[in-house]
């Protein structure tokens, strides 16, 4: 009986862990293009972000070569004119993983040379994960059901 309860406890812990992280998504900014000065499409990062549903807890991964680019979070007033001298923070080592911890608009730019004015900038709107928004992808929906499966197994083992 003790072994049965131990196994159930393991399943409950696994289920709780999966449930806690099931909706967090890592987004690679620009997908395979990475974080670089766009060629041809100055709205590359706007277009990339358009079909995404960013939630609190998600992480933006900026893939860039250290020494060639950086990523700085800035305010909207700094973002529009690409003012690179007034940043909230600046990450100079790539790749950079930046968690989205608060709701609202977040603005990111590259402060190297004219990179920002050439289109290397990104605005994302972050939503609270407790609303009626759906998970970012159908794969996330599948992952979100796993905790329920584990909890069902744990309950069956307890009985």
The model's pTM is: 0.68
Lowest mean pLDDT among 20-24, 33-37, 154-158: 154-158
Q: What span, in angstroms and rounded, lies between the C-alpha atoms of 122 and 73?
A: 9
Question: Residue ranges of the domains in the chain?
Answer: 1-23+142-159, 24-134
The more confident residue out of 98 and 10 is 98
Per residue in 40-70, pLDDT (tens digit) is 878 899 999 998 999 999 999 999 999 999 9
Q: Starting at the edge strand that comes first in sequence, how are the strands of the sheet with 59-62 ordered?
A: 26-28, 59-62, 96-99
The per-residue pLDDT for 121 is: 97
The CATH code belonging to domain 24-134 is 2.60.40.420
Report which of 109, 102, 105, 107 is spatially closest to residue 125, judged by C-alpha positions. Answer: 105
Residue 84: exposure state from Cβ atoms within 10 A (0-12, 13-18, ≥19): buried
Per residue in 111-140, pLDDT (tens digit) is 999 999 999 999 999 999 754 334 444 444
């Amino acid at each position: 009986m003790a072994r049965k309860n131990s196994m159930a406890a393991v399943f409950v812990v696994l289920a709780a862990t999966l449930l806690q992280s099931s909706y967090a998504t890592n987004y690679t900014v620009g997908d395979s293009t990475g974080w670089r000065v766009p060629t041809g499409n100055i709205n590359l990062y706007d277009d990339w972000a358009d079909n995404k549903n960013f939630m609190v807890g998600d992480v933006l991964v900026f893939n860039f070569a250290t020494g060639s680019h950086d990523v700085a979070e800035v305010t909207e007033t700094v973002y529009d004119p690409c003012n690179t001298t007034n940043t909230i923070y600046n990450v100079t080592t790539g790749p950079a993983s930046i968690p989205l911890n608060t709701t609202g608009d977040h603005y990111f730019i590259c402060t190297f040379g004219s990179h920002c004015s050439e289109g290397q900038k990104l605005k994302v709107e972050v939503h609270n994960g407790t609303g009626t928004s759906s998970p970012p992808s159908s794969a996330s929906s599948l992952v979100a059901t796993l905790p329920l499966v584990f909890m069902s197994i744990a309950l069956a083992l307890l009985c």
